Amino acid sequence: MKFSKLISYFFHPINFPIIGTILFFLFIPEFIFKPQEYLIIAVIFIGTYIFPILLLWLLKRFEMIKSYHMVTIEERKFPLYYYLFLSLLL
CB atoms within 10 A of CB 70: 19
Distances (CA, A) of 10 to 7, 13, 15, 16, 30: 5, 9, 7, 9, 27
> Mean pLDDT over all residues of the chain?
87
Asked if residues 56 and 68 have their Cβ atoms less than 8 Å apart, the reply is yes
In this predicted structure, what is the pLDDT of residue 1?
67
Res. 90: pLDDT tops 80: no
pLDDT of 10-31, one tens digit each? 888 889 999 999 999 999 877 7
User: What is the helix (H) or strand (E) element at residue 89, kind and residue range?
Assistant: helix 73-89
Label residue 74 exposed, middle or buried (CB < 10 Å: 0-12, 13-18, 19+): exposed
User: Does the pLDDT of residue 40 top 90, yes or no?
Assistant: yes
DSSP 30-85: TSS-HHHHHHHHHHHHIIIIIHHHHHHHHHHHTTS-SSTT--SHHHHHHHHHHHHH
